[in-house]
Chain A
Amino acid sequence: MKIEINTKNKDFLVTLFKEYYFKNIGLLSPPIQMHNREFGFMTFDGRVIRHLTFSKIGSLKAYIIQNVPSDIFCSNAYYQFPTFPINEKRWRGADMIFDIDLNDLTLPCANEHTFYICSNCGVVSRDLINLCHECHSTKILKNTIPCFRCINSLKKETKNLIEFLKKDFGIQEQNLEISFSGNTGFHVVVFQNNYLLLDSKSRSDIVGYLMGKNLSPESLGVRNDKRGYRIKIPLSGYSYGWRKRIVQKMKIPEVSNDQLNKFIKKMGGYQSFKNEIDKIAYELGLKIDPQVTTDIHRIFRMVGSLNGKSGLSKIVCNDLDKFDPMNDSCFFEDDRNVDISMNIPLKFSIKGKKYTLDKSISTVPISVAVFLISKRLANIVNSSS
């Protein structure tokens, strides 16, 4: 959801976004088969413009510098006619995309740094509200500033995903791209040929696999039976995929009829065994956004572009462990200061510097101002210094 932004803030961001693209246009790397992609933009007024095409990176860059959108997207799909309406585009495949976002991780620290902002009057609350207590508007925007624990959890989840993709799906390193979304998540894109033509239903099956959904005891050779259960060791054994994960987690070393039987007996039968499988599958399953992966017509944030919700860049992470979003994806130069007024007192750090800002007017470097204004936590007071 995009909310309206006051003119002063908007003018400030437009000027700086424009400057960013002017100086860092090289970060914007063209997607493979650029001429078969659909491009889309979000304007600072919250309008979405879709179904555009650019056959050369040069013309895309020119468009961006001229129009300064708040967000830039490019389809994961390849189309014969990218500018036609959805049903006439002639779909020719789509990269497989994954979104790992704080929203899906539900971490305990979330409420320490989540804000609810009235999109009408800009009042910020740390408590969940459905109605603004100042102006009674119901347009409430949720916003979060990930802490280091959040970032670590996101990285861990991303690594788990990469492991699944490599081990189970045979996806090669060079066909994978991991990037920071610019706000509260990581994106993984797979461009391996044999997966590009999969339809939405197949992708949904893959999502189910990754999330650990619908794993049945039958697939481990345990069948429900009138007298309890029956065991038939599957021909394909236990050394692959989920079966391997489950027997490892249950600590069944050599899986044989006897071993399994003993184990299930000890647990208390078929139903308890099934419950245990469900539990493990949930634990080991990934927390990803299923809608993103099953959408084969999505327009997805472009690498190198600014995320309008944070003013940070979506950027490829070559070394996930070392990657520090608040540093490595902030490209605004702090060559001057501006005055901002905070909507809420806030402690945070960016570009290696800690800030403690109270509700009065503060003079801060450009990077801080862009970040906080994009997050709707501050307003520009004066940008002419």
Chain B
Amino acid sequence: MSIILGKDDLAKYPFLEEAGTYIRESHFDLDDFNRSEFLHIIERATKRIEFALIQGKVFIDLEKYDIELFTFLVSLIMMKYIGEDSAIKKFSLLEAIRVERFLISDLLQEKDLRKKNLIISKIFRELFQLDVELDAKNKNLFKMNISDYLQRATPFNEVEWKLINRAVDNGYVYLDGDETVRLIRYEIYTLMYNRIKNMNITKIPEQIKLHATLVKNKLTPSIKYARRISDLPPCIKKALELLNKSENLPHSARFMLATYMLSIGKSVDEVVLLFQNAPDFNEKITRYQVEHLAGKKGSHTKYTVPSCCKLVNENLCYATIDCKGITNPIQFGRKK
């Protein structure tokens, strides 16, 4: 007898083909979302999006599968309606991290090997064409082809991802569950992003529109970085520009950016999210580092923004006429 994914699994992975089938078979019509029984779903989706876009946090709450499937669907429709690219990116990333968490615990804790293999084949193989296998001896160890590994790991710059620091044998790289899942973050992210972008709904239910508009209104001031991007000093603007192009910023530039953002009153969460586009983004590490800079960790000293003089030396200064007379980027735009 072949085993199939259970409903609990669909709740965690609502982007799988089977989830779509479920919704189709339930003879559900989009207009049903205007009915009051579905209000709690829309509200839940709203919460999920606000979590991501406003607080910059992963929504970890997991409900029964039918609730999850519909919440997921509504979230995507809402994001489509909100439409702002930076918001869609942010949402997709946090959704990817959510999926990552479920996947890691499934890979580590699932005792039923057939089930474990099924999850691997559904998500890694079918969705991303990535062949991942369980090691014959250690069932918590995974292996993939060296070339599959390299394609995904070379964008990360940390030395731990270099092939030489991996267990390599006979054409395979051996990885633990966390690492295996980390390698497909970008693919999950892209999947989410494309789902939203390619969604084609002619008539979005009024209730959904209404909620989405409310979220969007809350959003506009805080998702945009500073007061206005034109108020930022050129060095900071340049660093943000590079980050948004997913380019790799040197450590000194990250330090400058983080201390600057903290000094103009951004929260740790907001600063962490700034770095989400960095090719080697690791939420945990970045959060730790930013908290450290904010004086919440370790020595409890709050780090200050480096002086213009220092930034000039580090090749991070892109001074314009507006920089006249200032010695630290935080003075930018204050003196007139």
Evaluate contact between B160 and A169: CB separation under 8 angstroms: no
> A234 near B167 (CB under 8 angstroms)?
yes
Q: Please determine whether B154 and A201 come into contact, CB atoms closer than 8 angstroms.
A: yes
Whole-angstrom CA separation of A131 from B159 in the bound complex: 43
B138 within 8 A of A: yes
Cβ A167 vs Cβ B170 within 8 A: yes
Determine if A283 is an interface residue (Cβ-Cβ < 8 Å).
no
**A212-B170 in contact (CB<8A):** no
Segment at the B interface, from A115-123, A132-140, A238-246, A264-272: A238-246
Whether the pair B168, A242 counts as a contact (CB closer than 8 A) is yes
Q: Report the bound CA distance from A281 to B160 in whole Å.
A: 16
B147 touches A195 (CB 8 A): yes
Answer yes or no: B313 CB below 8 A from chain A CBs. no
The yes or no answer to A214 lying at the interface (CB within 8 A) is yes
* A241 and B169 within 8 A (CB): yes
CA distance A235 to B135 in the complex (A): 11
Is the CB–CB distance between A213 and B150 below 8 Å? no
Q: Are B160 and A241 in contact (CB under 8 A)?
A: no
Q: Which residue of A lies closest to B151 (CB)?
A: A202
Closest CB of chain A to B165's CB: distance in Å? 4
A168 at the A/B interface (Cβ < 8 Å)?
A: yes
Please tell me if the beta carbons of B166 and A219 are within 8 angstroms of each other in the complex.
yes
Partner of A209, one of B163, B171, B176: B163
Contact, CB under 8 Å: A242 / B164: yes
Q: Which residues of chain B in 164-200 are interfacial with respect to chain A, using CB atoms and an 8 Å cutoff?
A: 164-172, 174-176
B104 in the interface (beta carbon within 8 A) = no
Q: Tell me if A65 counts as interface (CB < 8 A to partner B).
A: no
Given A194-B145, A216-B160, A236-B174, does the pair A202, B165 have CB atoms closer than 8 Å? no
Could you say which residues of chain A place their CB within 8 Å of the CB of B160?
Answer: 216, 218-219
User: Which positions 147-186 of chain A face chain B at CB distance < 8 Å?
Assistant: 167-171
Q: Is the CB of A168 within 8 A of B169?
A: yes
The verdict on A198 contacting chain B, using a C-beta distance below 8 Å, is yes
Q: Check if A171 sits within 8 Å of B167, measured CB to CB.
A: no
A241 to B175 Cα, complex, angstroms: 13
Report whether A216 and B165 are in contact in the complex, using a CB–CB cutoff of 8 Å.
yes
Chain B residues near A145 (CB-CB < 8 A): none
Whether B168 contacts A209 by the Cβ 8 Å rule is: yes
Is A14 among interface residues, defined by CB-CB distance under 8 A?
no
B155 nearest CB across to chain A (Å):
8
Residues on the B chain within 8 Å of A215, using CB: 164-165
- Is A205 interfacial (CB-CB < 8 Å)? yes
Chain A residues with Cβ under 8 A from B171's Cβ? Answer: 169-171, 194
Please tell me if B213 contacts chain A, counting CB pairs below 8 Å. Answer: no
CA–CA, A194 and B171, complex, Å? 9
- Which of these, A198, A212, A235, A241, contacts B150 with CB under 8 Å? A198
* Inter-chain contact B165/A214, CB cutoff 8 Å: yes
| Contact of A228 with B by CB under 8 A | no
- Contact size range, A: 20 to 34
Can you name the residue of chain B whose Cβ is closest to the Cβ of A205? B163
Please, how many angstroms separate the alpha-carbon atoms of A240 and B174 in the complex? 9
Q: Would B159 and A214 count as touching, CB distance under 8 A?
A: yes
Does B232 sit within 8 A of A, measured CB to CB? no
A213 to B172, CA, bound (A): 19
- Cβ-defined contact, A168 with B170, below 8 A: yes
When C-beta atoms are compared, the residue in chain B nearest to A172 turns out to be: B171
Q: How far is the CB of A10 from chain B (nearest CB, A)?
A: 45
Other-chain contact of A194, B147, B159, B170, B174 (Cβ < 8 Å):
B147
Q: Enumerate A231-264 residues with CB–CB distance to B below 8 Å.
A: 234-237, 239-243
State whether A214 touches B147 (Cβ < 8 A).
no
Q: Given A214-B159, A219-B160, A235-B176: A170 and B165 within 8 A (CB)? A: no
* A237-B167 contact given A169-B146, A198-B147, CB 8 Å threshold: yes
Cα–Cα, bound, A271→B145 (Å): 33
Q: Which B residue's beta carbon lies closest to that of A218?
A: B160
Instruction: Choose one: A202, A213, A241; the contact of B166 (CB below 8 Å).
Output: A241
> A201 to B160, alpha carbons, bound, how many Å?
16
* Shortest CB distance B43–A (Å): 42
Q: Are B167 and A241 in contact (CB under 8 A)?
A: yes
Question: Is B140 among interface residues, defined by CB-CB distance under 8 A?
Answer: yes
Which of chain A's residues have a CB closer than 8 A to the CB of B159? 214, 216, 218
Q: Are B167 and A206 in contact (CB under 8 A)?
A: no
A208-B170 in contact given A198-B147, A198-B151, A214-B159 (Cβ < 8 Å): no
State whether the Cβ of A197 lies closer than 8 Å to any Cβ in chain B. Answer: yes
When A170-B171, A236-B175 are in contact, do A212 and B154 touch as well, CB less than 8 Å? no
Task: Write the nearest CB–CB distance from B143 to chain A, whole angstroms.
Answer: 9
Asked whether any CB of chain A lies closer than 8 Å to the CB of B311, the reply is: no
Query: How many whole Å from A313's CB to the nearest CB in chain B?
Result: 33
Binary contact track B130-146/A, C-beta < 8 Å → 1, others 0: 00000000101100011
Q: Which B residues touch A198, using CB under 8 A?
A: 147, 150-151
Is B245 an interface residue, CB under 8 A from the partner? Answer: no
Provide the residues of chain B in CB contact with A235, threshold 8 Å.
138, 140-141, 176
A216 to B160: give the CA distance in the assembly, Å.
8
Q: Which residues on B sit within 8 Å (CB–CB) of A234?
A: 167
**B64 is an interface residue with CB less than 8 A from chain A:** no
- Give me 7 A-to-B residue pairs in the complex whose CB atoms sit less than 8 angstroms apart, sorted by A's number: A194-B147, A195-B147, A235-B138, A235-B176, A236-B167, A239-B169, A242-B164
Q: Which 7 A-B pairs have the closest CB atoms?
A: A170-B171, A219-B165, A236-B167, A202-B150, A241-B168, A240-B169, A236-B174
**Residue ranges of A at the interface with B (Cβ–Cβ < 8 Å):** 167-171, 194-195, 197-199, 201-202, 205-206, 208-209, 212-216, 218-219, 234-237, 239-243, 281
